[in-house]
């Protein structure tokens, strides 16, 4: 969707007021505390529905070269890149029953990636695979994750249905002891953590949620045993059923049209509408994607990254909603380019933003026939305050007789759940099935959550050290006192809407670090001085996003309306510059992270 001319000043003032009003309707004093984790009596919401019986096995006490915590794309890419560097024993550990990470857990009907498959799926050049659709269905992505794992022989050493419970540096052997919930305690020369940021499903703390007597589950653990069908639909188990779905984020937008096909009636409980842009998914051939020559995938994803990072590019190879709105993604990422500031830029930005959002609101009116429903589906906030979504079937679903939109903004969400249904205002909606598309806790997985304690030199705990001084790393990957530990993720690193690209660059870097340490017979460990220098780079030019997020409607981007976390947590000049910086550093300065071993 293209933007139109800037709006008149009085229109912008009116919009600003409307946005502020809509935000005030939604901000809650309890912020993120309004949610609860799927533990104890809610534990079944997080149980693995794809593994019937976890195979018993003996605990492992052996030695591997590299242990990778997490079997999503981050972990798989780390494994693949380590293999290419010649590492023999690479053991990936994951809670799920197979590789895939988010694509292992999320198999809900309608699941697709909304980033173009030809740039989202990693290692296409290396595996020779060409995606069939511009936007891949989840199953194609999951199978690609497994394809990479097979190609790089990552299955034999993998541990599935296993959670790492602690990482402890063993001074005597200068290796890590990796302990798990299956009784394992094995040694690894290097540990890579690739635990993702949004892997724990969350539930709203709605009063009475535990009393519901109908069937219920979270979208990231879709219960096909109950609904029947597959991610492509055919949910015969929903015939004659009244189904409620809570949540209208990127997941809800994909699920609702599928439920509408099969359920007797669908009640969509909405608190904040998403912006829903054109999808235009289509089958693609190798030639459409330029996949008829070597290096095509690398070139395409670099081109996409340049455009969505606001860097100049000769052409737009992907040409979709993300690249069209690139100028407005400025505030989406903590590490976006900082050069654009000042009143002139802000004014032009606001006008372009208003034009874009006006078009998106017009799209609702053009599609949804009932004016009241259309009005409620309109998003009243700036572009990218919430994650933009894309669908050509979401709005039309509301023209069906068996779909009702229940807006809950006035009551700050659903008020109460009873044995038989959901209460909003004076109305009770009786339901057979209640599905939570309520998203994921942010930053509660892996070593940053405290659930996976990391004991470094002298038994020092990583998070204890960071609680006193703030996080300290070199480039986000390594930390003093924690030798041979390589962290993947967005802390002190770069980010992008195409996160698999970021992860692959991180995996290349991780493998280069290990190769350098192996070549020199050294440990990987930055000095405190190297960490200080990296902190200074992060702080210099860190963006001021506070005003933008302070005006945004609540969500996980702005800690439910309470404000953005420290923006010095990411590299401030964008992913393209960060990748170049890493390349140069690997050529010229990698020795600074190598330390002499005590044990030779």
Taking a C-beta distance cutoff of 8 angstroms, is the pair 97, 48 a contact? Answer: yes
Could you give the residue ranges of the DSSP H alpha helices within 92-153? 102-105, 117-120, 124-127, 138-151
Nearer to ligand NAP, 190 or 304 (CB): 304
Stretch that binds ligand NAP, among 59-67, 240-248, 356-364, 395-403 (CB under 6 A): 240-248
Residues 6+ apart with CB under 8 A from 283: 132, 133, 134
SS3 assignment, position 329: helix
**438 is a contact residue toward ligand NAP (CB under 6 A):** yes
Q: Which of residues 93-152 bind ligand NAP (CB under 6 A)?
A: 112-115
Shortest gap between Cβ of 569 and ligand NAP (angstroms)? 18
Q: Smallest gap, in angstroms, from Cβ of residue 361 to ligand NAP?
A: 17
Residues 522 to 581 in contact with ligand NAP, rule: CB under 6 A = 555-556
Tokens in use for 179? 């302990």
272/445 with CB nearer ligand NAP: 272
The yes or no reply on residue 313 touching ligand NAP (CB under 6 A) is: no
Closest CA to 135 of 119, 123, 146: 119
429 strand-pairing partners: 422
Pairing verdict, β 215-218 and 175-180: unpaired
CA–CA gap between residue 500 and residue 498 (Å, rounded): 6
6: which DSSP letter? P
Q: Is 38 in the site for ligand NAP (CB under 6 A)?
A: no
Note whether 451 and 181 are within 8 A (CB).
Answer: no
110: left (phi over 0), alpha (psi -120 to 50) or beta: left
Name which position in 387, 416, 451, 586 contacts ligand NAP (CB under 6 A). 387
Residue closer to ligand NAP, measured from CB, 439 or 574: 439
Residues in 259-288 at the binding interface with ligand NAP, rule: CB under 6 A: 269, 271-272
User: Is residue 408 at the binding interface for ligand NAP, with CB under 6 A as the rule?
Assistant: yes
| Gap between the Cα atoms of 188 and 175, Å rounded | 6
Pairing of strands 242-246, 454-455: unpaired
Beta-strand (E) ranges in 411-535? 416-417, 421-424, 427-430, 433-436, 440-441, 454-455, 485-487, 522-524
Q: How many CA atoms, within 13 angstroms, populate the side-chain half-sphere of residue 444?
A: 13
Pick the closer one to ligand NAP by CB: 114 or 140: 114
Q: Which is nearer to ligand NAP, 237 or 247 (CB)?
A: 247
Question: Cβ closer to ligand NAP: 131 or 247?
Answer: 247
Smallest separation, CB 317 to ligand NAP (Å): 19
Stretch of 89-97, 146-154, 438-446, 515-523 lying at the interface with ligand NAP (CB under 6 A): 438-446
541 touches 338 (CB < 8 A): yes
Residue 464 has, within 13 A of its CA and on its CB side, a CA count of: 11
**Distance in Å, CB of 234 to ligand NAP, minimum:** 21
Smallest separation (angstroms) from ligand NAP to the CB of 462? 26
Residue (206 or 503) nearer to ligand NAP, CB: 206
Rg (CA), the chain: 24
Whichever of 303 and 438 has its CB closer to ligand NAP, that residue is 438
Interacting residue with ligand NAP among 100, 204, 421, 489 (CB under 6 A) = 204
- Decide if residue 413 touches ligand NAP (CB under 6 A): yes
The β-bridge partners of 435 are: 217, 245
Q: Which is nearer to ligand NAP, 26 or 501 (CB)?
A: 26
CA-to-CA distance for 302 and 295, rounded, in angstroms? 11
Question: Pattern of binders to ligand NAP over 242-261, x per CB under 6 A?
Answer: ----xxxxxxx---------
Q: Which is nearer to ligand NAP, 111 or 590 (CB)?
A: 111
User: What is the phi/psi pair of residue 329, to 5°?
Assistant: -85, 0
**Which is closer to ligand NAP, CB of 122 or CB of 483?**
122
Q: Which helix (DSSP H) or strand (DSSP E) does residue 14 occupy?
A: helix 9-26
Binding mask 149-188 for ligand NAP (x = CB under 6 A): ----------------------------------------
Region of 315-323, 359-367, 407-415, 506-514 interacting with ligand NAP (CB under 6 A) = 407-415
| DSSP class of 137 | B
**Pick 414 or 593: Cβ nearer ligand NAP:** 414
Distance of CA 342 to the CA centre of its chain: 31
Decide: helix, strand or coil at residue 505: helix
Q: How far is the CB of 467 from ligand NAP (least distance, A)?
A: 27
Count of chain residues binding ligand NAP (CB under 6 A): 28
Stretch that binds ligand NAP, among 50-58, 143-151, 292-300, 431-439 (CB under 6 A): 431-439
How far apart are CB 358 and ligand NAP at their closest, in Å? 21
Question: Which of 158, 194, 414, 575 touches ligand NAP (CB under 6 A)?
Answer: 414
Residue from 553, 419, 440, 552 nearest 204 by CA: 440
Q: For ligand NAP, which is the closer residue by CB, 248 or 284?
A: 248
Nearest to 215 by CA among 235, 231, 189: 235
Interface positions with ligand NAP (CB under 6 A): 26, 112-115, 198, 204, 206, 246-252, 269, 271-272, 387, 408, 413-414, 437-440, 555-556
């Amino acid at each position: 969707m293209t933007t139109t001319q800037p709006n008149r000043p009085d229109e912008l003032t009116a919009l600003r007021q409307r946005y502020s009003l809509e935000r005030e309707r939604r901000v809650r004093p309890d912020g993120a505390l309004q949610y609860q984790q799927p533990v104890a009596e809610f534990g079944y919401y997080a149980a693995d529905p794809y593994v019937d019986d976890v195979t018993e096995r003996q605990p492992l006490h052996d030695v591997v070269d590299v242990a990778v915590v997490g079997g999503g794309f981050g972990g798989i890419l780390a494994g693949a890149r380590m293999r290419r560097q010649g590492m023999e024993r690479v053991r990936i550990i994951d809670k799920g029953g197979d590789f895939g990470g988010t694509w292992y857990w999320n198999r809900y009907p309608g699941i697709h990636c909304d980033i173009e498959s030809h740039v989202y799926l990693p290692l296409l050049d290396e595996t020779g695979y060409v995606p069939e659709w511009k936007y891949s269905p989840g199953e194609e992505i999951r199978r690609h994750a497994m394809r990479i794992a097979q190609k790089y022989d990552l299955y034999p050493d993998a541990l599935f249905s296993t959670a790492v419970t602690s990482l402890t540096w063993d001074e005597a052997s200068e290796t890590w002891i990796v302990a798990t919930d299956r009784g394992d305690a094995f040694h690894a020369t290097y540990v890579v953590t690739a635990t993702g940021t949004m892997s724990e499903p969350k539930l709203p703390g709605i009063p009475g949620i535990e009393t519901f007597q109908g069937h219920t589950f979270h979208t990231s653990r879709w219960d096909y045993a109950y609904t029947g069908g597959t991610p492509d639909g055919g949910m015969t188990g929903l015939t004659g059923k009244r189904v409620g779905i809570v949540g209208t984020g990127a997941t809800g937008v994909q699920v609702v049209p599928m439920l509408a096909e099969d359920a007797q009636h669908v009640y969509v409980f909405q608190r904040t509408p998403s912006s829903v842009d054109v999808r235009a998914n289509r089958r693609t051939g190798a030639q459409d994607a330029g996949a008829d020559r070597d290096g095509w995938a690398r070139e395409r994803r670099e081109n996409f990254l340049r455009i969505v990072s606001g860097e100049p590019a000769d052409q737009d190879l992907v040409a979709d909603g993300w690249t069209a709105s690139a100028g407005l993604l400025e505030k989406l990422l903590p590490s976006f380019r900082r050069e654009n500031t000042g009143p002139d830029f802000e004014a032009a930005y606001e006008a372009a933003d208003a034009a874009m959002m006006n078009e998106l609101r017009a799209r609702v009116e053009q599609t949804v026939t009932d004016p009241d429903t259309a009005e409620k589906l309109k998003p009243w906030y700036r572009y990218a305050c919430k994650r933009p979504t894309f669908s050509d079937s979401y709005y039309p679903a509301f023209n069906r007789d068996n779909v009702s939109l229940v807006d809950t903004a006035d009551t700050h969400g659903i008020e109460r759940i009873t044995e038989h249904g959901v209460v909003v205002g004076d109305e009770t909606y009786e339901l057979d099935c209640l599905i939570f598309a309520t998203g994921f806790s942010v930053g509660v997985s892996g070593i940053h959550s405290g659930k996976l304690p990391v004991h470094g030199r002298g038994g020092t705990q990583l998070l204890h050290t960071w609680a006193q001084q703030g996080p300290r790393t070199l480039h986000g990957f390594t930390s003093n006192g924690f030798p041979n530990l390589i962290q993947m993720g967005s802390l002190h690193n770069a980010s992008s809407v195409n996160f698999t690209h970021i992860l692959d660059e991180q995996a290349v870097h991780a493998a280069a670090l290990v190769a350098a340490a192996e070549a020199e017979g050294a440990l990987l460990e930055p000095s405190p001085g190297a960490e200080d220098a990296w902190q200074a780079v992060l702080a210099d030019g860190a963006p001021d996003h506070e005003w933008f997020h302070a005006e945004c409607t609540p969500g996980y981007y702005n800690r439910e309306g309470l404000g953005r976390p420290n923006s010095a947590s990411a590299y401030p000049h964008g992913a393209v510059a960060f990748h170049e910086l890493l390349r140069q550093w690997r050529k010229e300065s990698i020795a600074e992270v190598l330390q002499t071993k005590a044990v030779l």
